[in-house]
Amino acid sequence: MAGNLSGAVGRRDNKREALRNRPEGPSAEASPLLRRFASRITDAAQGMPILDVACGAGRNAIFLAQLGCAVVCIDRDLTKLEAQLLRLKDTPLRPASARLTLTKLNLIQDSWPFGPCTVGGIINVHFYSPALFPLFKNSLALGSYLLFETIPGCGGNYVELPKAGEVRLALGDAFHLEFYREARVGPARSEAATVRLLARKRC
Ligand SMILES: C[S@@+](CC[C@H](N)C(=O)[O-])C[C@H]1O[C@@H](n2cnc3c(N)ncnc32)[C@H](O)[C@@H]1O
């Protein structure tokens, strides 16, 4: 019990530090959905690495690393993240940066390198490729989380979005959807929808 309590206090302290030390700049703020569910995701990871799929400049990965997680940052172009890590070298975020592993991967063309039940969580924000969902299912440990968020629906964006119901259908059998929000966008005939979800791999 004492161990659990001190773990909870430690996590709270980590979270406070994460908020104090977040990198500068508007694009550096982690996804609000991730900030909302971070403690559920990190608790379930049980020390296993969390993947940030299509990590960009790493705002979400850096946030999780500040909470003490090991994060594998995956993108076909790691230059933005590398530049960000250079900027953080002489800041209080340096120790968190050391918990990131950078993996250059084309998520459409390259083969998926993570084996079954080897991953403690997956963050997939603003990049949608439905072919990845079965790979996520396979690699996530039982009881761990997938957080998925499409790009927002503005202008002509809707052409890159899933059809309403498509994501729920793709994940429903292997995951319990603990949070799921879908909003129709674009012309009615497109059936496009934005999706934000937190899904837990069924045990
Ligand atoms: C809109 S950014 C999102 C970045 C990050 N997830 C975030 O929320 O800040 C999309 C990212 O997807 C990456 N990307 C696009 N196509 C990719 C592909 N085929 N394989 C790997 N990464 C890809 C881009 O390089 C870019 O960093």
Distance from C-alpha of 43 to C-alpha of 47, rounded to nearest angstrom: 8
192-203: pLDDT as tens digits = 999 999 999 998
**From the CA of 8, how far away is ligand 1's center (Å)?**
33
Helix axes 59-66, 79-88, angle to 10 degrees: 40
**pLDDT band (50, 70, 90) for residue 1:** very low
Q: How far is CA 104 from CA 4, 16, 76, 113, 158, in A?
A: 37, 31, 5, 11, 28
In the predicted model, is pLDDT for residue 162 greater than 90?
yes
Structure tokens that stand for 111 in this block: 């083969």
**From the CA of 30, how far away is ligand 1's center (Å)?**
15
Structure tokens that stand for 26 in this block: 């508007």
**Residue of 127, 132, 154 with the most ligand 1 atoms within 8 Å of its CB, for mutation:** 127
Mean pLDDT in residue range 123-146: 98
20-74: pLDDT as tens digits = 445 444 347 999 999 999 999 999 999 999 999 999 999 999 999 999 999 999 9
167-198: pLDDT as tens digits = 999 998 999 999 999 999 999 889 999 999 99
**pLDDT band (50, 70, 90) for residue 157:** confident
**From the CA of 56, how far away is ligand 1's center (Å)?**
5
Domains, the chain: 2-201 (3.40.50.150)
Q: Is the CB of 53 under 6 A from ligand 1?
A: no
Name which of 153, 85, 88, 148 is nearest 122 in CA terms: 148
79 CB-near residues (< 8 Å, 6+ apart): none
Q: Is the CB of 54 under 6 A from ligand 1?
A: yes
DSSP state of 192: B
C-alpha gyration radius of the chain: 17
Name which of 66, 60, 52 is nearest 96 in CA terms: 66
Mean predicted lDDT score pLDDT of the chain? 90
Q: Is the CB of 76 under 6 A from ligand 1?
A: yes
